[in-house]
Chains A and B, each alone.
Chain A
Amino acid sequence: MKALHDFVKGFEPAKDNKLAHTTFDAFYTFLFQPDVVTTDGTHIKDGMDLKRLMVNVVLALQVLYIFGTWNIGHQHFLALGEHTGMLEGFHLKVIYGLIQILPIFVVTHVVGLGIEFIYAARKGHSVEEGFLVSGALIPLIMPPDIPLVWLAFAIVFAVILGKEAFGGTGMNIWNVALLARVFIFFAYPTTISGDEVWVSGIEKIGTEYFAASYGWAHGLFDMVFSSAGLSQFGAGGQAVVDGWTGATPLGIAAKEGWEGVTAVYSTDAMFFGGIPGSIGEMSVPLIVIGMVFLIVTKIADYRVIFGGLIGFVVCALLMNAIAPPVDALTVDTPGIFKFMAIPWYYQMIMGSFLFAITFMATDPVSSADTPTGKWIYGFLIAFIGLIIRVMNPAYPEGWMLSILLMNTFAPLIDHYVYQANMNRRAKRTSVMAEQRNELITKRGATHIFDETSAADLTGTGNDGSFKRGATV
């Protein structure tokens, strides 16, 4: 290992070549934990650093990547009416998914990390790890057919204006991944309005949908598959199955309510994630696995997540109460009431609420700082997000906007929590001063230097009402 270390160190560029040195340093510290020792302050340090903190989130996202890759292919073939079984044509689905997702992943990282490296070199500090998580999140919240140029533009916008302009990782006020998403959403509104184009490789010609023709990469794999005797992609260009619209559950729900949704997608499919949508946000069980992992390891704060779940349920119940009863819904009822009448547990498995509250809202940099603030922050994200989802016809999903909105207000929430803390502490001190006076009055009753009489003196102490730890 020492030899490997020396070998790697041999490539270290000169310090005055800033960009090269920063880049080397980034890869070196990725490969090795450096031999730096503490100089001031504590002599030992916790094994947890920002890299490890961030990589745990990336770890929690891996199951979503695997599922998302398969699901891209699955949705593609489902639309064509081929390989409709979950495991039928598994190799085709995975390869199809990989061909879609890999370029997105590569572009995200090359562009995002490239900007990080340049800025780190210019500012003369080491490359910070913030983009590890942003870079893992961005592909998951993009539609599988996203044009790579749009993606690159979005990332340039998000990283430069959203992060580097504020001073880098730890200083940004908005979630970087969501900024990239919001850029795409507002820059290309006609194509990404959120109710179509979520299934990869389907083209609209006139009013009809057809499969796009496959590229050279598919052809390459076709040769491999044909020699192995497996099913192949073929030429493409076939028509989709009858009645296929490609609409997402939320798109349908806004017009036809829960009945309309279940007519197209089964509850099971929505729960397990076999429906069209952004790459990584569909599968409820897999997101819950990530959620539990992040909560147990305390990487993400449970307060934000539980606050969000409570806010979601409360908002959904409120809407249920406003909407007419489920069996009173008719064809003529406006779509918005049908949407509002959907109970919270169905609302939760549609769309990307769980993904957003687990991975986006808990971003430690842009969320509220204080434990109390985090409850409020999480609650409001879910509450406002559901309102945007249901009541605003322009936006089929609300989490992106509500999280960015609450990112903006997080410092305000914190400000009031800090003020409350200051007041509480001042109040506590004055209460304790009274108790001390009481103790001293009692003591005055006996002679101060008489040891035997002092022995049985016990004070009243404080009543424990302001303590953090409980009194036994």
Chain B
Amino acid sequence: MKSLKRLTGILSTMLLVNITFQSQAQASGSNLLFYGLAAVALLIFFFIVISVADNFMVIESNESGINGEKANMGLYPRLSEIFSKKAPAYLEGEHTYKLSKGYDIPLEGKAADHVDSTTSATRFAAMPPDFIGLKPIPKVVVEVGDSVKAGDVIYFDKKKDRIKFVAPVSGEVIEVNRGFQRSIASIVILADKDQVNRTYTVPSEGASREELVEFLLESGAWAGFRQRPYNVIADPEVTPRDIFVSTFDTAPLAPDRKLQIAGREDVFQAGVDLLRRLTPGLVYLGLDGRETGKTAFSNINGAEKRYFIGAHPTGNVGVQMHHIHPVGAGEDTVWTLDVNAVLLIGEIFKNGRYNSERVVALAGATLTTPRHVRTYAGANLGELLKGNTLDNVRVISGDVLTGDAVGTEGYLGYYDDQVTVLTEGNEAELFGWLLPLKPRGSVSLTIPTFGDFAATTNTHGEKRAFVVNNVYEGVMPMDIYTQQLMKSIMVQDFESMEGLGIYELVEEDVALAEFACVSKQPLQNILRDGLNIMLEQG
């Protein structure tokens, strides 16, 4: 800003010098520039006269008490009236961040606004690959045929054996599936009709932080704690600087988080209270400033509330952290949780039982009734989607930007609360790149989108070298040069990676940039490679 001012100063000085030279030289007055400036000066003079008069009018109306409601009585609209929708009244006095960058992909098939309790799955899976930073072959402590309660330990990592992973539901273990190189892909449980939950004796109110951590590790709720940088399961040895929770999801066709805590506000509050005891710093809640009024999340006490107004990826906790207080390695390590993880902890501490219940959005243009359903972590997707004809479609656990294409035989990921169904785009299109007749999403104005549309999985182009048209900067509401960061990851330049902010990013934050990329570069994979390298380096 300072340099801009200086530049303006120099420019105007030069202009002045020039005019002086020329106007002296040309008393005859054929100097266009001079007359042009004189005309502008005259206009500015008139503008000032009118503005001053207008201000007097406004002052008078205020004094006489006409303007009780603080409406704009002036002649000119206020800047905020022209350029932005008026921020809702409830945001007044709150910390609000307005992010102008980002893009909401207008997809068809948004989940309806109610929770359907009739849909249920019978098979649930715990999947070790959901968790980044574990060894591929964990120690499985159950066998096929064992019956488990929801919350019973079923496996743990051999290196990080303090962190226990538990069964999402009660029932009988029916499969232990192995994947690539004998790694454990999933442990499938056939759920009981009547769920039996493991119960806990929670630590006392005055319990120390160490006791709490020990209890959480054993309880199975620890998997919900993720550590930034790297987005790995939180290291129990580390005390986080702060804890961040994003209470809204801006991803395409995302579930409505308000439905997720509807009726369980006290449980969520209990979870937040617990979080406050785990950090010497602050617990931040990121709230959606685009809501028309206060939501249940606004009434949670004891956390720092920060409102965010903006398109995707504003709902990503990483973006929120960037604006609230950036993370980094070492002392700047923080923890993040999603709403479901907070509810899980709240349930343990308030009701003393393990309950992985969650509200999941079933979304996508091909579904007959996109809706929210209540189920448990790791539910079988095919059973959730029963009743839909699923021909030539891709079934994704998660959203269209970051989810995994697991298919109908797959299971809901541990951190996912959304199932998206997309039509496969395996059909060649005549001059598809030149004349985009079929609807497709784009941040470019040359491909207009009218209302919501049904996207396909076509790549719409081939992979190319990076071309700098600053499209990443246009969709990333962060002060980060994404492309340069990607390049420095590719050449493994550690200093640049650190300096350019690799610690602040995880895959979901660059997913929209990957969507918008004209070169179709796999940014999420590149970033994960970089994060893994940094993780190895310590």
Q: Is B426's beta carbon under 8 Å from chain A?
A: yes
Q: Is B125's beta carbon under 8 Å from chain A?
A: no
Assembly CA distance A53 to B470 (angstroms) = 13
For chain B residues 472-509, which have a beta carbon within 8 Å of chain A? 473-474, 477-481, 483-484, 496, 499-501
A99 to chain B, nearest CB (A): 29
Inter-chain contact B465/A35, CB cutoff 8 Å: no
For chain A residues 35-81, which have a beta carbon within 8 Å of chain B? 35-38, 40-53, 55-56
- Residues of B contacting A440 in the complex (Cβ-Cβ under 8 angstroms): 280-282
Inter-chain contact B500/A418, CB cutoff 8 Å: yes
Q: Is B162's beta carbon under 8 Å from chain A?
A: no
Inter-chain contact B499/A42, CB cutoff 8 Å: no
Inter-chain contact A37/B25, CB cutoff 8 Å: no
For chain B residues 31-66, which have a beta carbon within 8 Å of chain A? 32-33
Interface string of B1-35 (1 = CB under 8 A from A): 00000000001001101100110111010001100
Assembly CA distance A414 to B483 (angstroms) = 12
A461 to chain B, nearest CB (A): 4
Inter-chain contact B100/A472, CB cutoff 8 Å: no
Assembly CA distance A369 to B471 (angstroms) = 11
- Residues of A contacting B471 in the complex (Cβ-Cβ under 8 angstroms): 48, 298
Inter-chain contact B518/A46, CB cutoff 8 Å: yes
Assembly CA distance A37 to B461 (angstroms) = 10
For chain A residues 365-405, which have a beta carbon within 8 Å of chain B? 365, 367, 369-371, 374
Q: Is B516's beta carbon under 8 Å from chain A?
A: yes
Who on chain B is nearest to A32 by CB? B428
B153 to chain A, nearest CB (A): 30
Inter-chain contact B18/A325, CB cutoff 8 Å: no
Among the interface residues A4, A374, A458, A461, which one has the most CB atoms of the partner chain B within 10 A?
A461
B14 to chain A, nearest CB (A): 5
Q: How many B residues, CB 8 Å from partner?
A: 115
Q: Is B82's beta carbon under 8 Å from chain A?
A: no
Flag the segment in A90-98, A202-210, A315-323 that touches B: A315-323
Inter-chain contact A170/B465, CB cutoff 8 Å: yes
Assembly CA distance A297 to B443 (angstroms) = 10
Inter-chain contact B470/A301, CB cutoff 8 Å: yes
Inter-chain contact A325/B441, CB cutoff 8 Å: no
Flag the segment in A150-158, A191-199, A431-439 that touches B: A431-439
Q: Is A343's beta carbon under 8 Å from chain B?
A: yes
- Residues of A contacting B400 in the complex (Cβ-Cβ under 8 angstroms): 42-44
- Residues of B contacting A1 in the complex (Cβ-Cβ under 8 angstroms): 430
Who on chain B is nearest to A367 by CB? B468
Flag the segment in A103-111, A233-241, A332-340, A420-428 that touches B: A420-428
- Residues of B contacting A215 in the complex (Cβ-Cβ under 8 angstroms): none
Inter-chain contact B96/A314, CB cutoff 8 Å: no
A339 to chain B, nearest CB (A): 16
Using A50-B518, A422-B499 as known contacts, say yes or no to A469 and B99 having CB atoms under 8 A apart: yes
Assembly CA distance A40 to B405 (angstroms) = 9
Q: Is A219's beta carbon under 8 Å from chain B?
A: no
Q: Is A449's beta carbon under 8 Å from chain B?
A: yes
For chain B residues 404-452, which have a beta carbon within 8 Å of chain A? 405, 420, 422, 424-434, 436, 440-447
Choice from B426, B447, B500 contacting A47 with Cβ under 8 Å: B447
Choice from B24, B32, B87 contacting A325 with Cβ under 8 Å: B24
Assembly CA distance A454 to B514 (angstroms) = 41
Inter-chain contact A40/B276, CB cutoff 8 Å: no
Q: Is B296's beta carbon under 8 Å from chain A?
A: no
Inter-chain contact B484/A418, CB cutoff 8 Å: yes
- Residues of B contacting A263 in the complex (Cβ-Cβ under 8 angstroms): none
Inter-chain contact A50/B461, CB cutoff 8 Å: yes
Interface string of A266-300 (1 = CB under 8 A from B): 00000000000000000000000000000011110
Among the interface residues A48, A370, A428, A472, which one has the most CB atoms of the partner chain B within 10 A?
A48
Who on chain A is nearest to B402 by CB? A42
Inter-chain contact A44/B441, CB cutoff 8 Å: yes
- Residues of B contacting A443 in the complex (Cβ-Cβ under 8 angstroms): 282
Q: How many A residues, CB 8 Å from partner?
A: 92
Inter-chain contact B21/A321, CB cutoff 8 Å: yes
Using A1-B430, A33-B428 as known contacts, say yes or no to A436 and B446 having CB atoms under 8 A apart: no
Using A44-B456, A45-B460 as known contacts, say yes or no to A37 and B479 having CB atoms under 8 A apart: no
B291 to chain A, nearest CB (A): 14
Who on chain A is nearest to B495 by CB? A422
Inter-chain contact B458/A33, CB cutoff 8 Å: yes
B229 to chain A, nearest CB (A): 13
Q: Is B466's beta carbon under 8 Å from chain A?
A: yes
Among the interface residues B420, B427, B441, which one has the most CB atoms of the partner chain A within 10 A?
B427
Inter-chain contact B523/A41, CB cutoff 8 Å: yes
A419 to chain B, nearest CB (A): 8
Q: Is A148's beta carbon under 8 Å from chain B?
A: no
Using A44-B400, A170-B465, A459-B304 as known contacts, say yes or no to A37 and B457 having CB atoms under 8 A apart: yes
Interface string of A133-174 (1 = CB under 8 A from B): 000000000000000000000000000000000011111000
Q: Is A14's beta carbon under 8 Å from chain B?
A: no
A299 to chain B, nearest CB (A): 7
Choice from B100, B301, B470 contacting A371 with Cβ under 8 Å: B470
Q: Is B290's beta carbon under 8 Å from chain A?
A: no
Inter-chain contact A325/B26, CB cutoff 8 Å: yes
- Residues of B contacting A299 in the complex (Cβ-Cβ under 8 angstroms): 446, 469
Inter-chain contact B14/A37, CB cutoff 8 Å: no
Flag the segment in B168-176, B214-222, B323-331 that touches A: B323-331
Inter-chain contact A421/B500, CB cutoff 8 Å: yes
Inter-chain contact B301/A33, CB cutoff 8 Å: no
Inter-chain contact B473/A371, CB cutoff 8 Å: yes
Assembly CA distance A45 to B474 (angstroms) = 16
Interface string of B511-538 (1 = CB under 8 A from A): 1001111111011110000000000000
For chain B residues 179-224, which have a beta carbon within 8 Å of chain A? 205
Assembly CA distance A341 to B481 (angstroms) = 42
- Residues of A contacting B25 in the complex (Cβ-Cβ under 8 angstroms): 325-328
Who on chain A is nearest to B14 by CB? A317
Assembly CA distance A51 to B462 (angstroms) = 9
Who on chain A is nearest to B332 by CB? A429
Q: Is A189's beta carbon under 8 Å from chain B?
A: no
Inter-chain contact B402/A469, CB cutoff 8 Å: no
Closest 4 CB pairs of A and B: A49-B461, A33-B432, A170-B465, A325-B25
Can you give 11 A-B contacts (C-beta < 8 A)? A44-B105, A45-B461, A46-B440, A48-B516, A49-B464, A56-B446, A301-B469, A321-B14, A459-B304, A467-B97, A468-B478
Query: Using a CB–CB distance below 8 Å, which chain B residues touch chain A?
Result: 11, 14-15, 17-18, 21-22, 24-26, 28, 32-33, 87, 91, 93, 95-101, 105, 205, 242, 273, 276-277, 280-282, 289, 301-302, 304, 306, 309-310, 323-326, 328, 332, 394, 396, 400-403, 405, 420, 422, 424-434, 436, 440-447, 455-462, 464-471, 473-474, 477-481, 483-484, 496, 499-501, 511, 514-520, 522-525
For the complex with contacts A41-B523, A169-B467, A432-B326, 19 further pairs of A-B residues with Cβ separation under 8 Å are A32-B432, A38-B457, A42-B402, A43-B405, A46-B442, A48-B471, A51-B434, A126-B462, A168-B465, A298-B445, A310-B11, A314-B14, A321-B14, A321-B18, A321-B21, A326-B25, A371-B470, A436-B242, A468-B479
